[in-house]
Structure 1
Amino acid sequence: MTEGNARFVAGEPRHPRQDVERRNELAGGQRPRAALFGCSDSRLAAEIIFDEGLGDLFVVRNAGQVISDSVVGSLEYAVGVLEVPLIVVLAHDACGAVGAAIESVRPDAPALPPLIWRQIAPIVPAVRRVLGGRDAATALDPEEVGREHLRDTVAQLLHASELISQAVADGRLAIVGANYRLAEGTASPVVIIGDAGDQPAA
């Protein structure tokens, strides 16, 4: 995935394994190389930014990459049934869900529709930690909040799933929390759990 992202950043994608032969090969089953849990943002198309092909990634997405039962169940399927050796949790800069969570703690914040509030509420603890007791009107760096939320997401995934945490403990699975920069196209590790190769955490 690192090599594919480098090709994408350089503007030299190969678009591998996207032909008729690959499609036919996969008709009988899948064996993805990794699972990716990321934000639903339209600018974060996983197979494009990592220059992957059909059947390479098992992708789960929602706004703000917020842990839920459906997310955990999907990732447990990827680990327990498809036996992926890697989960990438992908956050990004300029995230609308993070921005909404930051705005929601301001004293004059308008009420959000209930389901949108429920989606962004898990990001609010990261906002409050970055605030660190300062006034809620304080300007915050959305990227700092996003990285804090990314760490929370990885921790929540491990806490929510005994199957996934056991796979990490057994050395069968690594989890990488990475941050994607929209303008540059780069995906950089922020937190690494387990043996994910030689990627340094940022």
Structure 2
Amino acid sequence: MQSARRQLTGKEALQRLLDGNKRFLSGKLEHPNHCEESRKGLVSGQEPIAVVLTCADSRVPPVDVFDQGLGDIFVVRVAGNIINDHILGSIEYAVSHLHTPLVMVMGHSSCGAVTAVAQGVKLSGHIASLTPSIDAALKKTKGLEGHWTNNAAKELAVTTARKIEESEPIVADLVKEGRVLVVATYYDLESGEVSMLSQGIF
């Protein structure tokens, strides 16, 4: 099982997650890698097939949404899907040391952080550090057709994915070598569906 994970390409890992989301939508869950053997096998190390950077929102559980199991997804969470040195460092660890072939940034509908900034809520303390990135996405999507804050959440996911893809030297080099794929996706809380935001992947 461990060696099979290493052989996955970024596209293959992405397809595995999307297939898992289809199972999640249909209710035909497999709950892979949840047995005692899988758990004990992870004690000596991990080889996740994907990094998923998503919001800290409790309604967005990547392992469940993609019907994956223990050790399958290296989850990085932060309110608003913003990128900073700590987040990037976690991603770099996964792709360089764990050889994870896929990095997915997953925005979601009804994001509380995006909604708060859109409504002009004055964020205090360290929460305020989220504002600049979210505000930029809101400004870019204002006036576009559709739901404003959901559009902004999508824009934020795309922008964050691009920043990760271009981050030097580690991720950018691995992307150029074809060893890592970076994509942006969007999770709809109501339907449970994860849709692609990145174009031309398949």
Shorter chain as denominator, the TM-score bin is 0.7 to 0.9
Within the candidate set 104, 119, 134, 2:130 is matched to 119
Listed as ranges, the matches of 1:138-149 within 5 Å are 141-149=148-156
Shift of 1:120: 2.9
Shift of 1:131: 2.8
Shift of 1:147: 1.3
Within the candidate set 10, 35, 38, 1:19 is matched to 35
| In structure 2, distance between residues paired with 1:131 and 1:32 | 37
Structure 2 partner of 1:180: 187
| In structure 2, distance between residues paired with 1:84 and 1:94 | 29
Partner amino acid for 2:18? T
| In structure 1, distance between residues paired with 2:125 and 2:96 | 34
Shift of 1:122: 1.2
Within the candidate set 45, 56, 62, 2:61 is matched to 45
Structure 2 contact 51–100 (Cα < 8 Å) conserved? yes
| Unmatched 5+ stretches in structure 1 | 105-109
Structure 2 contact 54–107 (Cα < 8 Å) conserved? yes
- Give the alignment's TM-score, normalised by structure 1: 0.86
| In structure 1, distance between residues paired with 2:25 and 2:65 | 8
Structure 1 partner of 2:77: 61
Aligned residue-pair number: 185
Moved more, 117-126 or 76-85: 117-126
- Give the alignment's TM-score, normalised by structure 2: 0.86
How much identity, in percent, do the aligned residues show? 34
Query: What is the Cα-based RMSD across aligned positions, in Å?
Result: 1.9
Structure 1 contact 4–52 (Cα < 8 Å) conserved? yes
| In structure 2, distance between residues paired with 1:122 and 1:160 | 17
Partner amino acid for 1:115? H
SS in 1 for 2:75: strand
Counting helix residues as a fraction of each chain, which structure ranks higher?
A: 2
Of structures 1 and 2, the larger Rg is shown by 1
CA deviation profile, 1:2-22 (whole Å, cap 9, x unmatched): 111100010111111101110
Structure 1 contact 64–120 (Cα < 8 Å) conserved? no
Partner amino acid for 1:95? C
Structure 1 partner of 2:97: 81
For residues 7 and 55 of structure 1, do their structure 2 counterparts lie closer, same or farther at Cα, with a shift above 3 Å needed? Answer: same
| Unmatched 5+ stretches in structure 2 | 1-16
For residues 45 and 140 of structure 1, do their structure 2 counterparts lie closer, same or farther at Cα, with a shift above 3 Å needed? Answer: closer
| In structure 1, distance between residues paired with 2:49 and 2:189 | 24
1:72 matched to 2:88? The reply is yes
| In structure 1, distance between residues paired with 2:39 and 2:199 | 32
Structure 1 contact 177–192 (Cα < 8 Å) conserved? no
For residues 9 and 153 of structure 1, do their structure 2 counterparts lie closer, same or farther at Cα, with a shift above 3 Å needed? Answer: same
| In structure 2, distance between residues paired with 1:58 and 1:173 | 14
Structure 1 contact 32–56 (Cα < 8 Å) conserved? yes
Partner amino acid for 1:16? P
Shift of 1:142: 1.2
Structure 2 partner of 1:107: none
Shift of 1:140: 6.1
